Amino acid sequence: MLKQEAGTKPLSDRHKHHIGPSRVHKHINRLLKGEIDLDKFLVELEESLHIKGLHGKAGGPYVNLWRNAIKRYRTQMKNPAFVIGFAFGAMDQLGFGSVTLVP
């Protein structure tokens, strides 16, 4: 789980975020053919990072990373381990910090 820093909201007030953006969920889930369901993989993020920094206009940088990956790595995106690894790599690349899955 994300570490709470001084002056931030309590962890329970943070937003839950899907590791795969909702704008690409259906496409990724079709590629995975039911092997995993991205809707069940969540992390907790600060509200400002989740809503303003992450999504932004036209889906934001996180969605754009996923869209580009679907085009570039279409075959690999059929592998659940690749998809999970890509998700955490993308979050790291965008500076999410240390994140873990939450129920």
Please give the sequence-ordered ranges of beta strands (E in DSSP) within 1-103, or none if there are none. 15-18, 42-45
Please give the model's pTM, rounded to 2 decimal places: 0.75
Mean pLDDT computed over 24-37: 88
Tokens 């754009």 locate to 64
- For the chain, give the mean pLDDT: 78
pLDDT digits (tens, 9 = 90+) for 51-83: 555 656 666 788 889 999 999 999 999 999 999
Residue 31 · residue 96 · CB < 8 Å: no
Residue 40 has pLDDT above 90, yes or no: no
pLDDT at position 82 is: 95
User: pLDDT-derived band of residue 6, with 50, 70 and 90 as boundaries?
Assistant: very low
* Of 5, 94, 88, 89, residue with least CA distance to 43: 88
